[in-house]
Amino acid sequence: MAYSASIEMGGRTLTIETGRWAKQAGGSAVVRYGDTVVLVTACSSFEERKGIDFFPLTVDYREYNYAAGKIPGGYIKREGRPSEKETLTSRQIDRPIRPLFPEGFRCETQVIALVLSADPDNDPDIMSITGASTALFLSEIPFETPIAALRVGLIDNQLVVNPNYADQKRSTLNLAVVGSEDGIVMVESGASEISEEKMVEALEFGHAEIKKIVGLQRSLAAQMNITKRAVEPVKYDEVLKAEIEAKFKAPLKEALDTSRGTKLESQARVKKVKDDLKASLADADEDKLAEAKRIFEHLSERLFRDDILEARHRPDSRPFDQIRTITSEVAVLPRTHGSAIFTRGETQALVTTTLGTAEDVQRVDILMEAEGIEKRFMLHYNFPPFSVGEVGRMMGPGRREIGHGALAERALSAVIPAEENFPYTIRVVSDILESNGSSSMATICGSTLALMDAGVPIKSPVAGIAMGLVKDGDRYAILTDIAGAEDHYGDMDFKVAGTAEGITALQMDIKISGVTAQIMREALAQARTARLFILDRMKETLAAPRPAISPLAPRIFTVQIKTDKIRDVIGPGGKVIRSIIEQTGVKINVNDDGKIDIAATDEEGAKKAIQMIKDLTAEAEVGKTYVGRVTRIADFGAFVEIIPGTDGLLHISEIDEQRIREVRDVLKEGDTVMVKVIGVEGNKIKLSRKAVLREQRGKSGAAHGGPHSPKAD
pLDDT in tens, 536-590: 999 999 999 999 999 899 888 888 888 888 888 898 888 989 999 999 888 888 8
pLDDT of residue 64: 93
pLDDT of residue 370: 66
Residue 83 has pLDDT above 50, yes or no: yes
Task: Output the DSSP codes for 589-627.
Answer: EE-TTSEEEEEES-HHHHHHHHHHHHHHH----TT-EEE
Q: What is the pLDDT of residues 577-629, one digit of tens each?
A: 999 999 988 888 888 888 888 888 877 888 899 888 888 888 888 889 999 99
Residue 176's beta-bridge partner residues?
151, 188
Q: What is the pLDDT of residues 117-176, one digit of tens each?
A: 999 889 999 999 999 999 999 999 999 999 999 999 999 999 999 998 889 889 999 999
pLDDT of residue 709: 37
pLDDT of residue 146: 96
Residue 283 has pLDDT above 90, yes or no: no
Residue 712 has pLDDT above 50, yes or no: no
Residue 707 has pLDDT above 60, yes or no: no
Query: Which residues, 6+ apart, have CB-to-CB distance to 273 below 8 Å?
Result: 248, 251, 252, 255
Residues 505 and 239: their CA atoms lie apart, in Å, by 48
Fold of domain 326-413+430-541 = Ribosomal Protein S5; domain 2 (3.30.230)
Task: Output the DSSP codes for 562-588.
Answer: -GGGHHHHH-GGGHHHHHHHHHH--EE
Residues 173 and 504: their CA atoms lie apart, in Å, by 9
Report whether CATH 1.10.10.10 matches the domain 555-617: no
Highest mean pLDDT among 285-299, 510-524, 531-545 belongs to 531-545
Answer whether 322's CB lies under 8 Å from 345's CB: no
pLDDT of residue 210: 96
Among 196-210, 241-255, 559-573, the least confident range: 559-573
Among 306-315, 379-388, 436-445, 554-563, the least confident range: 554-563
pLDDT of residue 700: 66
Contacts 24+ apart (CB under 8 A), 585-591: 587/357, 587/359, 587/554, 589/357, 589/358, 589/359, 590/566, 591/358
Residue 514 has pLDDT above 80, yes or no: no
Range 330-341 average pLDDT: 97
Residue 710 has pLDDT above 70, yes or no: no
3-state secondary structure of 344: strand
The radius of gyration of the chain's CA atoms, rounded to the nearest angstrom, is 35
Residues 214 and 222: their CA atoms lie apart, in Å, by 13
Fold of domain 625-703 = OB fold (Dihydrolipoamide Acetyltransferase, E2P) (2.40.50)
As a whole number, the mean pLDDT across the chain is: 91
Q: How many CB atoms lie within 10 A of CB 436?
A: 24
Q: What is the pLDDT of residues 426-459, one digit of tens each?
A: 999 999 999 998 899 999 999 999 999 999 999 9
Residues 224 and 444: their CA atoms lie apart, in Å, by 48
CA proximity to 512, closest of 495, 494, 493, 491: 491
Residue 701 has pLDDT above 70, yes or no: no
CA proximity to 119, closest of 172, 162, 60, 84: 162
pTM over 0.95: no
Range 398-410 average pLDDT: 95
pLDDT of residue 297: 92
Question: At the fourth CATH level, which superfamily is domain 3-223?
Answer: GHMP Kinase, N-terminal domain (3.30.230.70)
In percent, how much of the chain has pLDDT > 70? 98
Confidence of residue 200 (pLDDT cuts 50, 70, 90): very high
Residues 229 and 452: their CA atoms lie apart, in Å, by 56
Residue 56 has pLDDT above 90, yes or no: yes
Highest mean pLDDT among 70-79, 400-409, 582-591 belongs to 400-409
pLDDT of residue 711: 34
Range 43-72 average pLDDT: 91
Residue 74 has pLDDT above 80, yes or no: no
pLDDT of residue 706: 47
Helix (H) or strand (E) holding 37: strand 36-48
Answer whether 244's CB lies under 8 Å from 299's CB: yes
Residue 335 has pLDDT above 70, yes or no: yes
Range 384-391 average pLDDT: 92
Higher pLDDT among residues 682 and 214, named by residue: 214
